[in-house]
Amino acid sequence: MPIAPTSTLQAIQNKVRRLTLSPSENQLTTTDLQNYINTFVVYDFPEHLRTFKLRTTYTFFTNPYQDAYPTDQASFGDPIANPSIMSNPLYNFQNNYLTVHPPVYVAGFQTLFTQSPEQFYGFYPNVNSIALTGSTGDGSTTTFSGYVNSSQFIPTPNVTQQIGLVQGKVLFDSLDANFNGISLVDVPVINPTTGNPTTYGNLYDPSTPAYQAALADPPTVPNLGPLLPGSGVINYATGFYNLDFTTAPGTGAPINSQTINLVLSMPQAMLYYGNTFILRPIPDQVYRVDIEVYQRPTYLMSLNQSPELEEYWQFIAVGASLKIFQDKMDWDSVNLLMPEFKNQLILCNRRSIVQYTNERTATIYTEQVSPTTGGFGGWGSGGNAL
């Protein structure tokens, strides 16, 4: 009785052993064999093929007062001390997903998506508001407190427009008795459970090791006091600050704040730059964000597991065999196997090519609704024309 073909990890292993003439464990251990296979699956495969199967919609949710959404690991804090942060949708996004593509939807509304800071900040200027805090130095006092924005700290439920400070862009400065500049800058405090920034930011002297340490390992507790020299806190929601300069401002030297004050609202644009999603306006509440991404294939964990599409298995086997020959410096075998590798590449790509041919490139003309038929671009039934 005929046996149905298999596409499991076991089948891939068997084919790799045949192709590389390594039938025994002494020639190639199963551990090394599986490492070769999964290295090809996770890292090589998606760079050779961006198949239709790997493209999907990715969703994350905004956080009030948070405009920047990093996609690395370090920005979320210590996963060993707080393992729950690994459940954050954006934790290690940059390694789990390959590329990001438009369209982008916020609360179901399509928004501008750009990878150009010049274009993004052309629409939403990153201009600092430089203002006097109302405090001046006396040559000995180092601690000062107050509000950056008098309009922020008054809770007004009926006000439709909220104002927030852009996180990571707060600076307090002055001059000491010798007219040397002194300053404190902010690092957002993150929630140790979710990894998201809170409405607090801790202030640091940018010339101290404490500031560099905070950038590498974000703080999880707001510095509400007592303060040490070269520290402080800022509330992005209310504008309240409490700071302690490393050196006392000189007599009569003004204490200045430099912040980016923006009205909070539903985001209308997204910048993807430096492995960070940046939204404008800053969200005033939680919003759903949907984006198009290419996901990285998952590695094969068990012998009876198959790739995302079963037809990939021969391509994976040939690709893993090439990596084995490369490590052995067996270039003759690499050259002999390369034609079959290219053949399998074409076969695996065929499904995506046929799938994409179902629709032509969208233009302003193809998206129009026909006034006579109600169909889009004059084809089919897209609804009744009014």
Q: Which of 245, 264, 283 is the last residue of a domain?
A: 264
Q: Which residue has the higher pLDDT, 49 or 161?
A: 49
How many other C-beta atoms can be found within 10 angstroms of the C-beta atom of residue 148? 25
Contact 16, 33 (CB under 8 A): yes
Can you tell me the mean pLDDT for 351-377?
61
Q: What's the number of domains the chain is made of? A: 2
Burial of 90 by CB count in 10 Å (0-12 exposed, 13-18 middle, 19+ buried)? Answer: buried
Q: What are phi and psi of 300, to 5 degrees?
A: -90, 120
pLDDT of residue 11: 94
pLDDT of residue 115: 94
pLDDT of residue 288: 96
Residue 156 lies inside a defined structural domain of this protein: yes
Residues 217 and 304 in one domain: no
Q: Which residue has the higher pLDDT, 370 or 126?
A: 126
pLDDT of residue 190: 92
Residues 191 and 234 in one domain: yes
Q: Which two tokens stand for residue 277?
A: 């999603």
pLDDT class of 150 with cuts at 50, 70, 90: low
pLDDT of residue 309: 83
Residue 276 lies inside a defined structural domain of this protein: no
3-state DSSP assignment of residue 185: strand
Can you tell me the mean pLDDT for 13-33?
94
3-state DSSP assignment of residue 351: helix
Residue 316 lies inside a defined structural domain of this protein: yes
What DSSP element (H or E) covers 174? strand 171-175
Residues 142 and 251 in one domain: yes
Residues 6 or more apart whose Cβ sits within 8 Å of residue 64: 199, 264, 283, 284, 285, 286
Residues 250, 247: Cα–Cα separation, whole Å: 9
pLDDT of residue 381: 42
Q: What are phi and psi of 33, to 5 degrees?
A: -60, -50
Burial of 381 by CB count in 10 Å (0-12 exposed, 13-18 middle, 19+ buried)? Answer: exposed
Residues 132 and 190 in one domain: yes
Q: Which two tokens stand for residue 326?
A: 């490369």
pLDDT class of 353 with cuts at 50, 70, 90: confident
Percent of the chain with pLDDT over 90: 63
pLDDT of residue 386: 41
Residues 39 and 171 in one domain: no
* Predicted TM-score (pTM) of this structure: 0.78
Residues 301 and 342 in one domain: yes
pLDDT in tens, 191-203: 998 889 999 999 9
pLDDT in tens, 24-80: 999 999 999 999 999 999 999 888 888 887 889 999 999 999 999 999 888 888 888
Residues 301 and 250 in one domain: no
> Domain range spanning residue 239?
123-264
Q: Which residues pair with 59 in a beta bridge?
A: 290
Contact 286, 273 (CB under 8 A): no
pLDDT in tens, 317-333: 999 999 999 999 999 99
Residues 24 and 140 in one domain: no
